[in-house]
Structure 1
Amino acid sequence: MNQTLPPQNQGTEKTKNLVEVWSHIEDPGFHALENEINPLPKPFSVLSGGELRREKVPEKVNVLGDGVIALNQLTTVIGQGGTGKSRVTMQIAISQILGWSIAGLKTHPKPLKHLLIGTENSIYRQKSEYMKMTRSLSSEQRELVDSQIFFHVIREIDDAFIHLGSDEIRRKWLDTLERVNPDVVYIDPYGEVHVGDINKDADVRFTLREITKVCRRYNPMTAIVIVHHGRTGRANIAQAVGWDKGNFALGSKALYSGSRSQINIAPADPDDHSRIIVSCGKSNDSKPFDPIGLKLDDDTMLYGIDLEFDLQTWRDDVEGKQRGQSISIQDVIDTIGKTQKRYTDVLSGLMEEHGCARCTAARRVAEALEKGYIEKLESGEYQTSKK
């Protein structure tokens, strides 16, 4: 007579029987093969104090400034639309290849290989600005730059999609990086590669991990530069410097946390798009660089240091302390009067008398000069004209 198992033991007996059956039919090498194809994750790398003391770390290689951009580092370039982020990154690449400084920051003396990937600009703009930037170079310099800089261009429809959420597109990234083997990769804009919600920390962290795995698959020392949009509006532009500079970028702050260095770019003058301010939004591994004003040369499409830029005046203007204060050409004429005055004295007089920003005073002086109401003498001083 068979004894019936209690209900609570029937499930256990069935499971035991299934395990025995599986052990008979399973290939003995199954687990070994599975572990070879899908190895178990390794533990985190941990060193004792003594091991860390003896560890030989790679030499730090600065691409730009002291840790502003460095090999094996993630840097972000943040700015509002139209502030010249793409142009600045192209100039950084060209300057580094030639050993030139940019914004007062030195570049690595040995030419590195740069790859600019992005969908922000058309091939027409890329070629036009690249041709202007390299027009004044010698044939040897031009040949060097041409061999060290690479552009992702939108030539076919599939070139326009760089989103890292697709396995097919990720494969295209890897094939491109294997072909070029760059030292520095610029991604412009970040929004085109981002996976998920740009306002969610988890999605931003996931995307940064994917970017890192892809860009450093063939070269673990590759420097990654992510170009991203900043928050718009007067109050947000003011955050390019100061206590709130970590809030400058659009979306989750995980991007700020994940980078080692951040370059902030903001408009220096709302009426003159050729002028920008470049500041250090973050610098984990070195001393932050001081904010600096840059002015675009329309002929060369290169930014040079704006000698008229004044940080405190810019702060006052963008924070609204000078809001509503404007001046006329007549005010410029009255300030100069019947005497000859230096340019700096004219600007100071206008600012003190009318409470305007320095950039406003400079703009009105330039307008008065262009229209012939004042004239500049050989001595560099200004006087009212016969007109």
Structure 2
Amino acid sequence: MSTNLIEIWKEIEDPNFHVTENQLHPSPKPFTVLNGSKLRSIPVPEKVDILGDGVISLGQLTTIIGQGGTGKSRVTMQIAISQILGWSMAGLKTHPEPLKHLLIGTENSIYRQKSEYRKMTQSLSPEQREQVDANMFLHVVQEMDDAFIHLGSDDIRKKWVDTFELVNPDVVYIDPYGEVHVGDINKDADVRHTLREITKVCRRFNPRTAIVIVHHGRTGRANIAQAVGWDKGNYALGSKALYSGARSQINIAPADPDDPSRIILSSGKSNDAKPFDPVGLKLDDTTMLYGIDASFDLQAWKADVDGKQLNTNFSIKEVAQQLLDKPKKNSEIHAELGGSEAGSRRSLDRILAKGKKEGYFRTEKRGYKLTKKGSDLIA
């Protein structure tokens, strides 16, 4: 009976069926394997660093990790603008030739994106602005469908593919990771699946596209301390699979709890090069660009987040007394008050920021000046 069925099937089977099936669903090829001789001689693309030495590179996955409100989105936009213009960022060199950057995500409204982009580019020459405009592409939430970027949907995944075909970027920044993640962010398998989906979409048309994932860090004093040191790999929220999948990680942390304009950038991971040293940055409210904070002291910051502030007992009244005769700059006030370099500079910066906010001091070209409220405090 079975023999008859086989013969009947052979008679009715379309001889082209297997040919068509193999064309539509070809068998997977083996992994690419090279012997030592071929590996030694095979030509490979030149390594192209976009930021620093292996911090962001073409064909690489980098993560940027930080708590909410620490300026992650602003830092990513500044990295892109700096690279296009060949400027350094946080003391890290950028690739000299302008590359194409795509910032995709729903973390910020179009109002903030437009405002900060205009401020960041307002001081540029017409030629520089034209160059940045031609190489910066920003996903904005202008229509309802723009707000959904979750990779678990076939329709949304197609929107990603169509966007990459349209822009074909050299670098893509995904902000925030939580909006594209599929499954439980605490489960390794779900994070690995999401990273595979991100890679397939982002490198469909350009296998060397650099992928930068912006993600939230753990909150609280103890977790902020993990931005540097032994526990820097534990800084990100959720599964460690994200940390494992990245070649490089940039950690962003608040440098001062009383001054949100000051942040610290550190290397959370660097597989392909020497990690860069932690650096303090301060935001310019006019240009919305970060510059290096010369007053930042890493040891004082560590002592602060560890709850061991050093020589930090300055008061608003003590500072006000130093301003009684004339306006003074930070360095002059610090020299007169004394204290160790490790602790007192950050304490003074906090007191000056607090005193200015509460109306005891104001700033002018010559430095900090006492207000009537400050004079009354001394009296």
Q: What are structure 1's unaligned runs of at least 5 residues?
A: 1-12
2: distance between equivalents of 1:246 and 1:39? 41
Does 2:24 correspond to 1:37?
yes
Does structure 2 retain, via aligned residues, the 8 Å contact 1:99–1:107? Answer: yes
Does 2:70 correspond to 1:70?
no
Aligned to 2:41: 54
Does 2:220 correspond to 1:247?
no
Aligned to 1:304: 291
- Map 1:2-151 → 2, pairs under 5 A: 18-151=5-138
Relative to structure 1, the CA distance from residue 35 to residue 310 in structure 2 (aligned partners, 3 Å threshold; closer, same or farther) is same
Return the match for 1:227 from 208, 214, 224. 214
Aligned to 2:225: 238
Aligned to 1:182: 169
Q: What displacement does 1:322 show?
A: 2.6
Aligned to 2:315: 328
SS of residue paired to 1:202: helix
CA offset digits 1:58-85 (Å, max 9, x no partner): 0001111111011111110000000000
Aligned to 1:217: 204
SS of residue paired to 2:230: coil
2: distance between equivalents of 1:244 and 1:170? 35
Relative to structure 1, the CA distance from residue 26 to residue 350 in structure 2 (aligned partners, 3 Å threshold; closer, same or farther) is farther
More moved, 330-339 vs 227-236: 330-339
Rg larger in 1 or in 2?
1
Relative to structure 1, the CA distance from residue 218 to residue 308 in structure 2 (aligned partners, 3 Å threshold; closer, same or farther) is same
Q: Which amino acid aligns with 1:332?
A: V
Superposed CA RMSD: 3.1
Relative to structure 1, the CA distance from residue 147 to residue 352 in structure 2 (aligned partners, 3 Å threshold; closer, same or farther) is same
CA offset digits 1:256-297 (Å, max 9, x no partner): 010111000010011110000000000111110000000000
Does structure 1 retain, via aligned residues, the 8 Å contact 2:311–2:344? Answer: no
CA offset digits 1:19-51 (Å, max 9, x no partner): 444333221221221111111111111110111
SS of residue paired to 1:281: strand
Relative to structure 1, the CA distance from residue 83 to residue 48 in structure 2 (aligned partners, 3 Å threshold; closer, same or farther) is same
Does structure 1 retain, via aligned residues, the 8 Å contact 2:323–2:368? Answer: no
Q: What displacement does 1:320 show?
A: 1.3
Does structure 2 retain, via aligned residues, the 8 Å contact 1:350–1:356? Answer: no
Percent identity, aligned pairs only?
69
CA offset digits 1:84-139 (Å, max 9, x no partner): 00000000000111110010001100000000000000000000000000000111
Q: What displacement does 1:329 show?
A: 2.0
2: distance between equivalents of 1:134 and 1:343? 29
SS of residue paired to 2:59: coil
SS of residue paired to 1:307: coil
- Map 1:154-165 → 2, pairs under 5 A: 154-165=141-152
Does structure 1 retain, via aligned residues, the 8 Å contact 2:280–2:293? Answer: yes
Q: What displacement does 1:351 show?
A: 7.5
Does structure 2 retain, via aligned residues, the 8 Å contact 1:327–1:356? Answer: no
1: distance between equivalents of 2:107 and 2:368? 44
Q: When the two structures are superposed, what TM-score results if normalisation uses the length of structure 2?
A: 0.89
CA offset digits 1:296-333 (Å, max 9, x no partner): 00000000000110001000101111399653223336
Number of equivalenced pairs: 372
Relative to structure 1, the CA distance from residue 374 to residue 118 in structure 2 (aligned partners, 3 Å threshold; closer, same or farther) is closer
SS of residue paired to 2:20: helix
